[in-house]
Structure 1
């Protein structure tokens, strides 16, 4: 799989507008579409699927904790059964809407706190994997690329699913391969640093950590953000860079 661009989309809700989905969609390969728990609603989901179909973009479910007020960025203590059911509910909703348009769902990328919990806690990560494995058709799980990719791939193999590893274009990495906390200076790259990180990743398969170390990471897909026109323009430049 050549390096793809993925973006979180469909995160508007009712009269609340979030992101520039129409401007972003022509420049990405994979759309992570919110499923109504942390953001999105049935009409927004439908409109986002139409945009993806018009632009030939791969569709992924972007499920989160049921937390519209906190935009899914607050961790919830849930049982394995609760986590499984909320994942299957959201995946099924998006997959059913997609099927009504002749589209197929390809993967799952958890959102926000659920994603962070999955990366930090082996039991939660394996519960997420088991939920995806329990779905009625094969779906991949998209998760952060770290130095533990061999371990994560083996976990997925034992459970019976496949993975796509993602790198964040605009985030600075700590020496251990985790994303630098947003509370720390330099956690989010400027446009110039972001493009330099993408160029380095393409040329050497590495990123430079906050302390200047070269960290080798597997990259199947690159996460980009299109919350404003500067971000959309940056996505266009990133796409040209990785295609050149």
Structure 2
């Protein structure tokens, strides 16, 4: 029941253009992400200082199903959780967040080993294949502030890297339109309901996943072969 309900919720937000793309067998995410149709993005000129132990990055930009699926396939990433950031704890549940008035964005919490992948590299993946940073309060077929593009920084170093990289991409005219990604302090991350965790992996044949999320992972493998890892090498959060 949950799976059917979720599919209906997602597809009711498809625009007429997205519907035409689906019928034509073309993914909205394929057209949206920079790396699929443009030259590869540059490496960040500014990156985080070396750190000991696992680090955390929290990012938002569209449905968290796709974001989780992408970052679960990045080497050095140890755990990815789908959840909500930007709003209050008492509104951090799917039905409330879907109203678009809670301040939350569908987000992912990424626990990673900085000796294997840097914060700057995660941002390069994010901007290249995980989201379209030029879409305001939407991502492909999903519309609303809960789908906005946000980097939730956990410390001054992450803020420095994020703002510098956005400025670098802007100066390089890496995208045809201005980047609207927000860079805001992380005030809290609230893990989403269990049926959202690993959704793309558990439902690979659902049309929404096939057309919107699977191509992102394919682009990751194509553009970042040195960073790509298969499913078996990652551990993800499941709630019980």
TM range (shorter): under 0.3
Query: What TM-score does the superposition give when structure 1 sets the normalisation length?
Result: 0.27
Of structures 1 and 2, the one with the larger relative CO (CA 8 A, separation 6+) is: 2
